[in-house]
Structure 1
Amino acid sequence: MPPVLRRWVFLGHRWLGIGLAVFMLLWFVSGVVMLYVGYPKWTQAERLAALPPLAEPAAPLDWPRLATALAGQQPDAIRLTSVAGQPRLIVSGPGKRVRALDWQGQSLPGADAAAALAAAQALFPQSPVREQGLVDEDAWTHSKALDPLRPLYRVQVTHPADTLLYVSAQTGEVVRDASALERNWNWVGAWLHWLYPLRGGLLDAWWADIVITLSLLGCLLSVSGLWIGLLRWRMFGRFPNGSRSPYRPAWMRWHHWLGLGAGLLTLTWVFSGLMSMNPWKMFDSHALKPRSQAMAGASLAQAPFALSPWPGIASLAQQGFLAREVHWRVIAGQGHYQALDGMGRSRLWAAQANAPMRLRLSAVELEHAGQALLPSKVARAEWLSHYDFYYYSRAAHTMGGHQDKPLPVLRLQFADANATWVHLDPYSGTLLNSLDQHGRLKRWLFALLHSWDWLPLLSQRPLWDGVMIAASLGGTGLSLTALVIGWHRLRRRAPLGQNTHPARKPA
């Protein structure tokens, strides 16, 4: 390499290190916290466990009229749940609009502060609750999934866990909880790791661009550091200081050693963090998306729901299955109900007289329905009874860990241009997710490299914990030494290790 170019590489690494050392250090430290405490969320398991068993309202029910009213809403999703202990219909419609309906099919007004307190009190009947105002977004609600439910009432629950509950002003439901433990650890965990201090203020619109830019610069810093570290390391023989590293000051020498040992790992983590942001939409596919309605055979508005769900709910209760929530489903053009109990167990039945209860769809039914998702042929169909590299579950507190990943599932591999894979849920007859070539590439470049989501390792905890913590300590040490070196450089001190005190004048 020409001396001029080499000098620029050295200078670039130096000043990138001065500018990014704090960010790199925070990313490593906060990453360790996130191994055990994730960003607050209200998972389906928490929600179902907190809901009471469904009870039929005392008012007479005109089901044909209500079914017609529901169809007139042009719904994308309908579920029967409890809000403040009372049954409610929650309907999602065009534009991701979410609203609550009464048993006459009429939209209910948005929840007020009293309704928010009632919803919180229903979850914690023995604890005092206090409303803390209406917020659109705060430190614990930076999630796109909450956008259709905003604004949110914040309710403080006075009990040992000191929990904050967030109640949707649109539906009156509790949609997020954040205990004191989660909030306190998140200040040095996910809130820092994802640079959430930049969210919600003047820089909010540029948050994604800032994260992408910092990650790119972090990659340049890591690559240049690796190159310099290898260049300055003496493979054969030693320097006059007796070391293979030419640096005499301890901080510089430790930084050199740690860079050689943890530099590649640091580059891997910074690069995979960049991939999590989907820079330049590189993982977006413009191919035809799987069509859920084509698989269902009809929309919720078109499918017949001739029978109210209440007879089925009552029949399940007699069998010891206490439904906490019921979802409207369309399978092969026919209306169905899926009931979920407090442990997430499921029962399915058609919305017509004398329909049998069943646990799940047959393989033939599900595969036949799934073939309609795309116009291409199915190249391969397989049932997964165990998790694999592309379909697996993570701990609930982790990013993506709240997503329901039931087993068994049916995987269909289509022969389309993007080699699309889909996973179908036999318990609900719905599309769980789809992965084309872009999605599978992201699985490698983000989830594998960033979280080390490799089943043989994930299944061997605490081995996974030990490996992740040891690797994080290497990156932390590398960043910390860079921070100290940069601090000395900015203070314009003499080279590290040299006595900077003026010599005393002879008496």
Structure 2
Amino acid sequence: MRPLVKRLKRWLYLGHRWLGIATCQLFVIWFVSGIVMMDVGFPGLTEAERRAALPGLAWDRVAISPDAALATAGLTRFPRELRLAMLDREPVYRMVAWDGGQHTVSAADGRLISGIEADVALAVAAHDPRTVQPRLAGEVERDQWSVTARYNALRPFHLVALGDRENTRLYVSARTGQIALDTSGTERFWNWLGAIPHWIYLTPLRAQAELWRDVVLWVSGIAIVGAITGLWVGLLRVRVRRRYASGSISPYRGWAAWHHLGGLVGGLTLLTFVASGWLSMNPNRWFGPRAPTQAMLERYAGAVEPRSGLDLARVRAAACPDLAEVRFGWLAGEPRALLTCREGPPVVCCAPSSGASEGEGARIVEAARRLLPEAALTGAVLLTEEDAYWYSHHQPRRLPVLRVTFADPDATWFHIDPATGEILGRADRSSRAYRWLFHAPHSLDFLFLLRRRPAWDAVVWLLSAAGLVISVSGLVIGWRRLR
């Protein structure tokens, strides 16, 4: 067996050597870009930014009912979203169908809006409070910042530069006229050192979602093998009791010693980061979806017919002076509207029973039973503070939130806004496992750290530094080997 063991060790050392030459470059990129991502995320339009750019709703120009608008759009079911807002100076109904299709109908004359010109996009962008000297910067079909499929129904975009100090650019949909995305100069610069290399987010590759997913899985999978072999070799070569002639526990000197000893200290950290990153891509679809299905949402709403069930005059009477948007919907077969004002949370109106705080929670719980009618609802708990599964990190979480739990085979939870009835998230057993297998080890999403920042920052910097010692030293000795 001794010759076989010797041969296997030889292959282990050679395997790690060449895997390390290939993967240490990736490790350096991932650790440096991960540090950047601690403070600069990938560009996206926040709800606060979207709301701030909405003009006040011109009720005096609203002449078309929501039901008429639904008929004009040709929808046969009540859509995922139905909103009344402004397109510059014209009120419009915006609809998102269940297949993701976007429809815009004028609330002034009932015409179907299938596209907008550049001058209208410029006027839309001018309502953004950050605007200083807006100018058109061209038309974009797909670029580095709008590469993902979520924007497909809105393409192409009129790109508008606001002329502000942050060099902000807005992406205004040439189909619907709504602002879909904003980017600042700071975000665009730092993301080339952050999210883009970290996620291998190159536009031609990311535009092909399945190909990109496969590339990330394979690249990170190979990196995992490189990390495992390195940890194994490091343990084989260390001597604690019977030390080497130099008195050291490592036989190496210089950069190789830094690589060996750094790997002993931080190798498990490196392996944890890369393995959890691999899991983030949901290999083999092990983790379930985190959003409710169409069937769940329609049962929760209790209505599928394409009608709002509300009188616009009553909605207008309940509106705040600075109303920017109305969102129509249903809850347990009861029509309702969410009024979005400039300040404060959305206000619920205008069904016969809405407006009374007592009983609202009971109505939401009763509607929630319809989400999974085949399973018993086992609990409804109002969370007033964050816990291990509902917490803010890079994105804020609404509080209080109602958590309803079911006795189905997946032990499903739903998080619901108790004020509006909106379903904010779904979590089954697999997605809760994902929270501990990806978010916890990869982003260090532990409440005891997140609540004590900058303790979280210090720990991430320390672990990243350990990973950089391993990867930079490996890069140096790998380059020397290649020479």
Distance 2:258 2:70 in 1: 71
Can you list the C-alpha shifts for 1:268-294, whole angstroms capped at 9, x where unaligned? 1101111111112111379x9571111
Give the RMSD, CA atoms, in angstroms. 2.6
Distance 1:62 1:280 in 2: 46
**The one of 430, 435, 441 aligned to 1:443:** 435
1:330 maps to 2:315:
no
SS at match of 2:86: strand
**The one of 133, 136, 139 aligned to 2:138:** 133
Contact 1:199–1:207, Cα closer than 8 Å, also in 2: no
Distance 1:163 1:217 in 2: 39
Specify the code of the residue in structure 2 equivalent to 1:55: A
Partner residue, 2:276: 272
Query: Unaligned 5+ residue runs, structure 2?
Result: none
SS at match of 1:41: coil
Partner residue, 2:44: 41
Contact 2:416–2:423, Cα closer than 8 Å, also in 1: yes
Partner residue, 1:55: 58
Contact 2:85–2:326, Cα closer than 8 Å, also in 1: yes
Contact 2:384–2:401, Cα closer than 8 Å, also in 1: yes
Stretch deviating more after TM superposition (435-444 or 48-57): 48-57
Distance 1:380 1:213 in 2: 41
1:22 maps to 2:25:
yes
Specify the code of the residue in structure 1 equivalent to 2:430: H
Relative to the length of structure 2, the TM-score reads 0.91
**The one of 419, 423, 435 aligned to 1:427:** 419
- What percent of counterpart residues are identical? 36
Distance 1:170 1:314 in 2: 32
1:213 maps to 2:218:
yes
Can you list the C-alpha shifts for 1:319-340, whole angstroms capped at 9, x where unaligned? xxx3222111201212100112
Partner residue, 2:170: 165
Contact 2:33–2:197, Cα closer than 8 Å, also in 1: yes
* Alpha-carbon offset, residue 430 of structure 1: 2.7
Q: 1:360 to 1:86 in 2, by over 3 A?
A: farther
* Alpha-carbon offset, residue 488 of structure 1: 0.3
Contact 1:198–1:207, Cα closer than 8 Å, also in 2: no
SS at match of 1:123: coil
Partner residue, 1:234: 239
Partner residue, 1:390: 389
**The one of 8, 12, 16 aligned to 2:15:** 12
Specify the code of the residue in structure 1 equivalent to 2:370: A
SS at match of 1:47: helix
Stretch deviating more after TM superposition (206-215 or 1-10): 1-10
Map 1:148-227 → 2, pairs under 5 A: 148-197=153-202, 199-200=204-205, 206-227=211-232
Q: 1:458 to 1:199 in 2, by over 3 A?
A: farther
Partner residue, 1:89: 93
1:142 maps to 2:140:
no
SS at match of 1:345: coil
Contact 2:92–2:105, Cα closer than 8 Å, also in 1: yes
Specify the code of the residue in structure 1 equivalent to 2:43: P
SS at match of 1:95: coil
Query: Unaligned 5+ residue runs, structure 1?
Result: 396-400, 492-507
**The one of 394, 397, 400 aligned to 1:405:** 397
Contact 2:144–2:203, Cα closer than 8 Å, also in 1: no
Q: 1:427 to 1:85 in 2, by over 3 A?
A: farther
* Alpha-carbon offset, residue 422 of structure 1: 1.2
Can you list the C-alpha shifts for 1:52-99, whole angstroms capped at 9, x where unaligned? 332314364567745765785632210122332543211111421012
Stretch deviating more after TM superposition (266-275 or 96-105): 96-105
1:293 maps to 2:291:
no
Stretch deviating more after TM superposition (134-143 or 273-282): 134-143
Map 1:220-369 → 2, pairs under 5 A: 220-248=225-253, 250-284=254-288, 291-299=296-304, 301-302=306-307, 304-305=309-310, 307-308=311-312, 311-317=314-320, 322-343=322-343, 345-351=345-351, 357=355, 362-369=360-367
Distance 1:225 1:180 in 2: 40
Distance 2:35 2:218 in 1: 23
Relative to the length of structure 1, the TM-score reads 0.87
SS at match of 1:122: coil
Q: 1:212 to 1:246 in 2, by over 3 A?
A: same
Specify the code of the residue in structure 2 equivalent to 1:116: A
Contact 1:457–1:464, Cα closer than 8 Å, also in 2: yes
SS at match of 2:126: helix
Specify the code of the residue in structure 2 equivalent to 1:420: T
Contact 2:52–2:342, Cα closer than 8 Å, also in 1: yes
Distance 2:244 2:309 in 1: 83
Specify the code of the residue in structure 2 equivalent to 1:419: A
Contact 1:133–1:154, Cα closer than 8 Å, also in 2: yes
Stretch deviating more after TM superposition (143-152 or 92-101): 143-152
* Alpha-carbon offset, residue 244 of structure 1: 1.1
Partner residue, 1:465: 457
Partner residue, 2:116: 111
